[in-house]
Amino acid sequence: MNEIVNISGRLNEFVDPTLTIWPWPIPLYLFVGGMAAGILFFCGLSYLQGKSNTLEAAVFKAPLLVPILLIIGLSALFYDLSHKLYFWRLYTSFRIEAPMSWGSWVLAVVTPLSFAWVAITNRQYLTVIYDKFQWLLKIEDFLIRNKKALAWMMIIFGILLGIYTGILLSAFNARPLWNSSILAILFLVSGLSTGASAITLFSKSAAERHYFTRIDLGLISAELFLIIHFLMGLLAGVQVQIDAARLLLGGPYTVSFWLFVVVLGLAVPAILNVLELKGKKIPYYIAPILVLIGGLFLRFIIVYAGQVSSWM
Judged by average pLDDT, the poorest of 67-71, 80-84, 200-204, 207-211 is 80-84
- Answer whether 67's CB lies under 8 Å from 115's CB: yes
Q: How confident is the model at residue 22 (pLDDT cuts 50, 70, 90)?
A: low
More confident residue, 16 or 100: 100
Residue 4 has pLDDT above 50, yes or no: no
Burial of 100 (0-12, 13-18, 19+ CB in 10 A): middle
Judged by average pLDDT, the poorest of 166-170, 192-196, 266-270 is 166-170
Q: How confident is the model at residue 3 (pLDDT cuts 50, 70, 90)?
A: very low
Q: How confident is the model at residue 93 (pLDDT cuts 50, 70, 90)?
A: confident
Integer angstrom CA distances of residue 114 from 33, 38, 68, 230:
12, 12, 10, 32
- Answer whether 164's CB lies under 8 Å from 103's CB: yes
Integer angstrom CA distances of residue 139 from 107, 116, 135, 136:
21, 9, 7, 5
Q: Which of 51, 3, 11, 8 is nearest to 29 (CA)?
A: 3
More confident residue, 130 or 307: 307
Report the chain's mean pLDDT, rounded to a whole number.
87
Specify the CATH number for 2-308; select among 1.20.1630.10, 1.10.3720.10, 3.40.50.150, 3.30.390.50.
1.20.1630.10
Residue 18 has pLDDT above 60, yes or no: no
Task: Give the CA count within 13 Å in the CB-facing half-sphere of 151.
Answer: 20
Residue 19 has pLDDT above 60, yes or no: no
Q: Which of 295, 64, 70, 297 is nearest to 202 (CA)?
A: 64
Integer angstrom CA distances of residue 273 from 74, 84, 103, 263:
33, 44, 33, 14
Q: How confident is the model at residue 1 (pLDDT cuts 50, 70, 90)?
A: very low
Enumerate the domain spans of the chain: 2-308
The pTM assigned to this predicted structure is 0.88
- CA 225 to mean position of chain CA atoms: 18
More confident residue, 187 or 99: 187
Q: Average pLDDT in the 143-152 region?
A: 94
Residue 293 has pLDDT above 90, yes or no: yes
Q: How confident is the model at residue 128 (pLDDT cuts 50, 70, 90)?
A: confident
pLDDT at residue number 130? 75
pLDDT at residue number 266? 97
- Answer whether 63's CB lies under 8 Å from 43's CB: yes
Q: Average pLDDT in the 95-110 region?
A: 80
Q: How confident is the model at residue 137 (pLDDT cuts 50, 70, 90)?
A: confident
Q: Average pLDDT in the 265-280 region?
A: 94
Question: Which distant-in-sequence residues (6+ apart) come within 8 Å of 269 by Cβ?
Answer: 216, 220, 286, 287, 288, 290, 291, 294
- Answer whether 33's CB lies under 8 Å from 192's CB: no
Residue 11 has pLDDT above 70, yes or no: no
pLDDT at residue number 17? 41
Residue 133 has pLDDT above 90, yes or no: no
- Answer whether 74's CB lies under 8 Å from 111's CB: yes
Q: Give CA torsion, residues 252, 253, 258, 262, to 10 deg.
A: -170
- Answer whether 184's CB lies under 8 Å from 170's CB: yes
